[in-house]
Amino acid sequence: MVFAGLDDLLKQLSQFRYSDQNLRYLEKLGFNPHFLEYLKHFHFSGTIFSVREGELVFPNEPILRVEGNIIEAQLIETLLLNILNFQSLIATKAFRIKLVCGEKTFADFGLRRAHGAGGIQASRAAIIGGASSTSNVQAGFLYDIPVSGTMAHSWVQSFEDELTSFRQYARNNPLNTILLVDTYDTVRSGIPNAIIVAKELEASGNQLVGIRLDSGDLAYFSKKGRKMLDSAGLQYVKIFASNQLNEYVIQSLNEQHAPIDGFGIGTELITGKPDAALDGVYKLALCDNKPRMKISENIEKMTYPARKSLYRFYDSDGNFFRDGILLENQDPDKCKFIFDPVHPEKWTDISGLRRELLHTKVFQKSTIIEPLASAQQAHLYLMSRVSLLPSEHKRFIMPHIYKVGISKELLEARDQLRNKISNRSAAL
């Protein structure tokens, strides 16, 4: 998973207040007056430790830790999960698309298919994952991310003929003309008219940036279009494609050697298809300085008790090798082995390996500790991390599972607390 959403979360937490209007509404719902008086003066004064935005993280890892009194820690649960789960889902989807695009660019075209206002945050997350720009101008304004777009079919349809629509668009946008060529007939009308306008732009000292394909057999039309453009001496004109694209379709287009220079990706990106949601959870791990955990029939669903630290260990080539979860008060120098939490008979010797602590303090007493990364900076950090993840973990089909282990001390703490809770329940 690509971790995203930290910037929005911390900014909202720093401004978290209950207005008089909020309190009057809660009063109508029957909340206790003493509680409402508490909320009147509420601000989140807790402490948050987190991995960096853009970090690659793996299942069952403690990505973010909240320390505070139980009321304030509980009040922010839904806000925290809503922002981090959604943005991480979209950033991860965007990253998968980036993996197959390689040096080719892709833009977020998804706002019209987004889940309401969530499309604003989704556009930021898409940039973190690898989108070069967004058609969402509101997101561009709020987050200072690159915006881009092309003409619509309605533009072409609003004129009496396609060529006139192309010419008028080029007059309005002489330095950034990308023509949508599939409104009527891609090969017989759209591309020939685009070539005419390209030549007219050349005569005025400008150049046609590209054409866009939005329907039909994209591999066939891109090959046909490239041949037609090149025959007209327009080798510099790029070909862009859109229409229900995802990482698998792009991978197939690449395998067919489709001469497409960039992609506009909408529904599949902005909704995180085929995954409707990301199942990040927020569980109590310590209360009154005593460890707490959730028990489950399935050991995979048990939570880890107490404060924890997340470390990444590197192999001799400097690549990601294992992640390890340790108790926060452990001396990492004395941790020689990490164990599979489900099958503890499986373990990894980590002694002598270079390690990196992934958690840093990011928020304390209503204040963001250090400057947060922009979406573009988070993407650059992501790509620096991707280069250290061995390729077998990045396969779409049967990827090699990246191992995450826990220290012996955490393993024992979990099992002891589980036994204690089970025995107490049995006694009842």
Sign of CA dihedral 156, 160, 163, 164: negative
Using CA atoms, how far apart are residues 411 and 407, in angstroms rounded to an integer?
6
Burial of 384 (0-12, 13-18, 19+ CB in 10 A): exposed
Task: Work out whether strand 347-349 and strand 337-339 pair parallel, antiparallel, or are unpaired.
Answer: antiparallel
Count of alpha carbons within 13 angstroms of residue 405, beta-carbon side: 22
What's the average model confidence in pLDDT over 395-411? Answer: 95
Ranges of each domain in the chain:
46-70+283-427, 89-270
Residues 6+ apart with CB under 8 A from 90: 4, 121, 122, 125, 126, 129, 269, 270, 272
Using CA atoms, how far apart are residues 383 and 91, in angstroms rounded to an integer?
12
Burial of 261 (0-12, 13-18, 19+ CB in 10 A): middle
**pLDDT given for residue 370 in this prediction:** 82
**pLDDT given for residue 426 in this prediction:** 65
241 band by pLDDT with thresholds 50, 70 and 90: very high
What's the average model confidence in pLDDT over 259-279? Answer: 95
**pLDDT given for residue 297 in this prediction:** 78
Average pLDDT, the chain: 95
Give the DSSP H or E segment for 383: helix 375-386
What's the average model confidence in pLDDT over 221-242? Answer: 98
Burial of 309 (0-12, 13-18, 19+ CB in 10 A): buried
Task: Work out whether strand 262-265 and strand 286-287 pair parallel, antiparallel, or are unpaired.
Answer: unpaired
Residue 45 has pLDDT above 70, yes or no: yes
pLDDT digits (tens, 9 = 90+) for 111-152: 999 999 999 999 999 999 999 999 999 999 999 999 998 899
5 band by pLDDT with thresholds 50, 70 and 90: very high
**pLDDT given for residue 427 in this prediction:** 63
**pLDDT given for residue 165 in this prediction:** 98
State the fold for domain 89-270. TIM Barrel (3.20.20)
- Top-confidence residue, 424 or 217: 217
pTM of the model: 0.94
The side-by-side arrangement of strands in the sheet containing 360-364 is 64-67, 47-50, 360-364, 367-368
Q: Is 101 helix (H, G, I), strand (E, B) or coil?
A: helix
**pLDDT given for residue 424 in this prediction:** 74
Residue 291 has pLDDT above 90, yes or no: yes
Report whether 130 contacts 379 (CB < 8 A): yes
What's the average model confidence in pLDDT over 31-39? Answer: 96
List, in sequence order, every residue forming a beta bridge with 105; answer none if it has no partner.
262
Domain range 46-70+283-427, CATH architecture: Alpha-Beta Barrel (3.20)
**pLDDT given for residue 174 in this prediction:** 95
Q: Dihedrals φ, ψ of 294, to 5°?
A: -95, 130
pLDDT digits (tens, 9 = 90+) for 311-331: 999 999 999 999 999 999 999
Residue 425 has pLDDT above 70, yes or no: no
Using CA atoms, how far apart are residues 306 and 289, in angstroms rounded to an integer?
8
Residue 428 has pLDDT above 70, yes or no: no
Q: What percent of the chain clears pLDDT 90, i.e. is strictly above it?
A: 93
Using CA atoms, how far apart are residues 220 and 215, in angstroms rounded to an integer?
11
**pLDDT given for residue 404 in this prediction:** 97
Q: Point out the least confidently predicted range of 309-313, 372-376, 424-428.
A: 424-428
List for the chain the helix, strand, coil content (%; round to 5). 40, 15, 40
Q: Point out the least confidently predicted range of 149-153, 351-355, 387-391.
A: 149-153
pLDDT digits (tens, 9 = 90+) for 150-194: 899 999 999 999 999 999 999 999 999 999 999 999 999 999 999
